Chain A
Amino acid sequence: MLINSVIIILREVFEAALIVSVLLVLCQRLQLPRRYFLFSLVLGGVLSTVYARHIAFVSMLFEGVGQEIVNAGMHLVTFICLLFLIFSMGRRSYYKVTVWAIIGCLSAALVREGSEIIIYIHGFVGIEQLFETVVAGSFIGAGVGFSVGVFMYYLMVSLSPRKGVAVSLVALVLISASMITQALQLLIQADIVISQVPLWNTSKWVSEGSVTGQILYALLGYESTPTTIQVGGYFLSLMLSSGLAFKTFKTFEWEMDE
């Protein structure tokens, strides 16, 4: 139970830590006040608690696929916020767009991963023989995931400003494409988007359940058996966001003040 709790929480925290560390680096590079970052953390924390508390009700909405629709909505909101962020960062006239895009991405990421952690741990409240083990495992998992986030933050912050922005842009482009493929996956699961035969199967090379598969999932949205719609959505969003990223990098205003 302990190991299982460590793995489950580590996976969730790792996924959140990736996006949070990239956005924190951007806040630092763009000299945005820390209060926006803290506001996003609080907003994400409150919303994930509310969502976790009403998850059973949400699940049964829309004939039992409410959870998929809400989660797909959160992925799409993150995607749109990422596009706005990629477009607006480094442009003084779009300062407020940048701030709200960061708040949107951060809050949505925290709600997605945080609500699952709350649902998992909350289920053990009142089961004395398991609760302590689960909480201990969760702390270890969260600690490891958090440490990875801190490591990545310092790694990216230590880069030169140009390299730092370039790495952040690449990360945002990959995360945005991953958001689209995950949203499509949820809509297929909810029977809203048509289910197709997988385009390929790479599970023999990299299983989704393996450590490599889990890391690739968090970094690139890796799936061993994607459908044509998912692959198409992935590459379309990759093209769109990388086009914006190139333009942003070329015209980046390096001295940015509030």
Chain B
Amino acid sequence: MRILLIICLMLTVNPLFAAPTVNIAIRNHLFYPSTVEIPVDTKVKLLIENQDQTAEEFESYELNREKVIPGHSKGVVFIGPLPAGEYPFFGEFFPKTAQGKVIVK
């Protein structure tokens, strides 16, 4: 039981270290900004505000993230810590226009 508790504590995240926040807006099915730069090996909180009436799904195969953000609402997605590189993301409901990328360096 004690070992199980220790494993659970190891797997859960220490809340003392708050992740820096990056704001992203969705407007007219476009991401603003469409390019986000974050430092290497750092956990970051993406606060995504969907200003459109339509819902959008923030999705990235490279970041392994997927989240529905209804119209006129916000959503939080944590990413990282990541190695240096480019990680594209897109809006699954409007993939032709809603495109962006996270640059880790």
Which residues between 117 and 147 of chain A lie within 8 Å of chain B, taking CB atoms? 119-120, 122-124, 126-127
Which residue from A127, A225, A229 sits with its C-beta under 8 Å from B11?
Answer: A229
**B100: chain A residues within 8 A (beta carbon):** none
Report yes or no: B61 in contact with A189, Cβ–Cβ below 8 A. no
Q: Does A55 contact B (CB under 8 A)?
A: yes
Q: Does B71 contact A (CB under 8 A)?
A: yes
Which residue from A4, A68, A122, A225 sits with its C-beta under 8 Å from B64?
Answer: A225
A4 to B95, CA, bound (A): 8
B interface secondary structure, majority? loop
A-B contact count (CB 8 A): 91
Q: Does B39 contact A (CB under 8 A)?
A: no
Report yes or no: B61 in contact with A209, Cβ–Cβ below 8 A. yes
**Interface footprint category on B:** 35 or more
Output the least CB separation between A25 and chain B (Å): 29
Output the least CB separation between A252 and chain B (Å): 33
A63 to B75, CA, bound (A): 9
Q: Which residue of chain B has its CB nearest to the CB of A64? A: B76
Report yes or no: A203 in contact with B75, Cβ–Cβ below 8 A. no
Q: Does B67 contact A (CB under 8 A)?
A: yes
A109 to B22, CA, bound (A): 33
Which residues between 161 and 210 of chain A lie within 8 Å of chain B, taking CB atoms? 185, 188-195, 197-198, 203, 207-209
B73-98 interface mask toward A, CB cutoff 8 Å, 1 = contact, 0 = none? 11111111101000000001111100
Q: Which residue of chain A has its CB nearest to the CB of B19? A: A191
- Taking A189-B78, A209-B61 as known contacts, 4 extra A-B pairs with beta carbons closer than 8 A to each other, sorted by chain A number, are A64-B47, A64-B75, A189-B66, A225-B61
Chain A to chain B: the 10 pairs with minimum beta-carbon distance, closest first: A64-B76, A123-B54, A56-B73, A123-B55, A191-B78, A208-B61, A119-B55, A56-B70, A123-B71, A55-B70
List 27 contacting pairs A-B, 8 Å CB cutoff, sorted by A: A4-B95, A8-B93, A55-B70, A59-B69, A59-B70, A59-B73, A59-B74, A60-B74, A64-B74, A64-B75, A65-B76, A65-B78, A120-B55, A127-B53, A127-B54, A189-B64, A189-B65, A191-B78, A193-B11, A195-B43, A195-B78, A195-B79, A195-B80, A195-B81, A207-B61, A208-B61, A225-B61
